[in-house]
Amino acid sequence: MNVFISGGCKNGKSSLAVNLSKKIRKQNAPLYYLATMIPVDIEDEARIIRHQQEREGCGFETVEVARDILTAVDKCDRHGVFLLDSVTALLANEMFTQDGKVKLDVYKKVAGDLIQLINQVDDIVIVSDFIYSDASIYDCITETYRNGLAYIDRQMAAACNVVIEACVGLNIIHKGKIHKGKIHKIHKGKIDFAI
């Protein structure tokens, strides 16, 4: 099972992803949280702490993987459930290198790596931010980043069995169902199944 979750910032995507990862988990399968954010300010650090608190007691093993996402597979059991949070940070890390260079076309590599990851593991939930529909026009590099993220998200939506949009507290299912049961209701990160 592979699930793609997108939506605006602070719309409950991460808590939905945590709950969904636990729901699709097969008996005794490990849970892996693929943490992609490299904090650059106090707000990032606060977000990381909040996400850690949301996962506390859920049994997730955190795997730090800011770049080259496929390296995570070597550290984990492929039969576990992977929660990748987020594509947005992963693309930023790959595009804006530590030595100050900008890789404008790296979004194609990131999309390809993510598709390989989906194909290499049994179950994965992927989280991304819907930041590319703003009517404002930004500088060339920012627009390239936003267009690259939109490209990756389209690839993820096509490759995943389930696509969910988190929007203003509602979770809209655009594609798919979970295992034998259909998703009956999703509200504020809680998922009920119709068996």
Mode of pairing for the β-strands spanning 162-167 and 170-175: antiparallel
pLDDT value for 184: 47
What's the average model confidence in pLDDT over 108-122?
98
Q: First vs last Cα of the chain: how many Å apart?
A: 17
Best CA proximity match to 8, nearest among 166, 170, 186, 190: 166
pLDDT digits (tens, 9 = 90+) for 123-143: 999 999 998 777 788 899 999
Q: DSSP secondary structure string, 90-134?
A: HHHHHHB-TTS-B-TTHHHHHHHHHHHHHHHSSEEEEEEE--S--
pLDDT value for 149: 97
Long-range contacts of 44-52 (CB under 8 A, 24+ apart): 51/14, 51/85
pLDDT value for 195: 24
What's the average model confidence in pLDDT over 112-116?
98
pLDDT digits (tens, 9 = 90+) for 24-48: 999 899 999 999 998 788 987 887 7
pLDDT at residue 193 tops 50 = no
pLDDT digits (tens, 9 = 90+) for 40-89: 889 878 877 887 887 788 899 999 999 999 999 998 999 999 999 999 99
Cis peptide, bond prior to residue 21, ω within 30 of zero: no
For residue 120, give Cα distances in angstroms to 27, 99, 110, 115, 116.
Answer: 19, 31, 15, 9, 6
Taken in order 168, 174, 179, 184, the sign of the CA dihedral is positive
pLDDT at residue 11 tops 50 = yes
pLDDT value for 180: 42
- Confidence band for 191, pLDDT divided at 50, 70 and 90: low
Look up the pTM and report it.
0.87
Q: Which residue has the tokens 């949301």?
A: 54
Q: What domains are there in the chain, each with its CATH number? A: 2-194 (3.40.50.300)
Residue 22 to residue 191: CA distance in whole angstroms: 10
- Confidence band for 179, pLDDT divided at 50, 70 and 90: low
- Confidence band for 169, pLDDT divided at 50, 70 and 90: confident
48 neighbors 37 (Cβ within 8 angstroms): yes
Residue 81 to residue 149: CA distance in whole angstroms: 24
pLDDT value for 150: 96
What's the average model confidence in pLDDT over 147-168?
95
Taken in order 180, 181, 186, 190, the sign of the CA dihedral is negative
